[in-house]
Copies of this chain bind each other. A is one copy, B any other.
Amino acid sequence: MLLRIDPSSAEPLFEQIGGQVRALVARGELPVGTRLPSARDLAESLDVNLHTVLRAYQELRADGVIELRRGRGAVVASAPDHGPLHEAISALVATTRRLDIPPATAVALLKEALR
């Protein structure tokens, strides 16, 4: 699985991992039923601690993105209809760029609107 982690980023590692998996699933690149790497494998390949990956996985499970079972590993549980989702995201990004809005502002607006 292609995950790129930036150890020097201000964003926590477990959040980077979780965020990228969320994006992959929402984009349809990881269909329902797909098996994710085991926490130990992913931890090793990312050169990160087991707990860090596990924390990301737990968060993903809490939101129903994946299912976790001992012996079996992590499996994609549900994927949204990414068609309209991708459109809405693209439209927002386009507006953000056209109006030259700082990314942090766009994210802040979305966070508040979702609250």
Contacts and interface: CB of A to CB of B under 8 A. Distances in A.
A60 B57 CA distance: 33
A62 to B, nearest CB: 9
Each complex incorporates copies of this chain amounting to 2
Interface residues of A, number: 43
Interface majority SS (helix, strand, loop, mixed), chain A: helix
A104 B26 contact: no
A41 interface: no
A92 B81 CA distance: 13
Contacts of A87: 95
Interface of A: 18-20, 22-23, 25-27, 59, 63-65, 80-81, 84-85, 87-96, 99-115
